[in-house]
Amino acid sequence: GENVEQHPSTLSVQEGDSAVIKCTYSDSASNYFPWYKQELGKRPQLIIDIRSNVGEKKDQRIAVTLNKTAKHFSLHITETQPEDSAVYFCAASRDTGGFKTIFGAGTRLFVKA
Amino acid sequence: SAVISQKPSRDICQRGTSLTIQCQVDSQVTMMFWYRQQPGQSLTLIATANQGSEATYESGFVIDKFPISRPNLTFSTLTVSNMSPEDSSIYLCSARRQGASDTQYFGPGTRLTVL
């Protein structure tokens, strides 16, 4: 079945440094890749997404890259701040077969002040 | 953006009983989903709630255990039946307006504890 692998499971960075989270997906029909941030006790919130016809997308300190050939996509957070500390989930979805979204295992990001 | 509410927000239940979770979306949406999230874990898709027809369940989840209703475009329920402690988890409703490329929103979740 469909699968999304996410690495690392835990990431600790110093405030101001960059953080990179990587994901791979198995379903070649996937064409939409959202990233969610989940703070403790709260619901997942979409922070950025990318569609398969785009290789890179940026929104202020957050960027996402996609390599369809390799089935890889990554989240880049620059100039990290303590409030970036949370669990981040990558996900993959497609326009056929029920539109369901499959999530990666999550990355717990710690930003040390 | 779609606003999604769920109730109850949390509950403590006895083994063998059933709990029905309600999900309400503030606008008509095409797709509604139910996820389970164990503490410290990722989101696992239970099923897609289909309006006016039986839900589509993922591997490992069955209708007898997790019956789902979706009578209209803005409302769905998930029942956790014959509960055991292993069912203790957070259950999240999710919705998306159009196709797979539309933003998917989540409800606040229902924290279920089974004793």
The DSSP annotation for B71-97 comes to EETTEEEEEE-S--GGG-EEEEEEEES
- Evaluated on CA atoms A46, B39, A30, B49, the torsion sign reads negative
Residue with tokens 């503030």: B26
Q: Which chain B residues are Cβ-neighbours of A46 within 8 angstroms?
A: 103-105
Kindly report the average pLDDT of chain B as a whole number: 93
pLDDT tier for residue A26 given thresholds of 50, 70 and 90 = very high
What is the rounded CA–CA span in Å between residue B79 and residue B23? 11
Q: What is the mean pLDDT of residues B64-70?
A: 97
pLDDT for the residue B2:
75
pLDDT tier for residue B29 given thresholds of 50, 70 and 90 = confident
Asked if A93 lies within 8 A of B109 by C-beta distance, the reply is: no
Give the number of A-B residue pairs with CB atoms closer than 8 Å.
Answer: 56
Question: pLDDT tens for residues A78-105?
Answer: 999 999 999 999 999 887 666 788 999 9
pLDDT for the residue B96:
87
What is the rounded CA–CA span in Å between residue A6 and residue B114? 30
* pLDDT higher than 60, residue B100: no
Question: pLDDT tens for residues A50-88?
Answer: 988 889 999 999 999 999 999 999 999 999 999 999 999
Amino acid at A33: F
A89 has a chain B CB within 8 A of its CB: yes
pLDDT tier for residue B6 given thresholds of 50, 70 and 90 = very high
pLDDT for the residue A94:
82
pLDDT for the residue B30:
80
Q: Could you tell me which residues are beta bridge partners of residue A33?
A: A50
What phi, psi does A79 have (nearest 5°)?
45, 55
pLDDT for the residue A98:
67
Residue in B42, B45, B103 nearest the CB of A89: B42
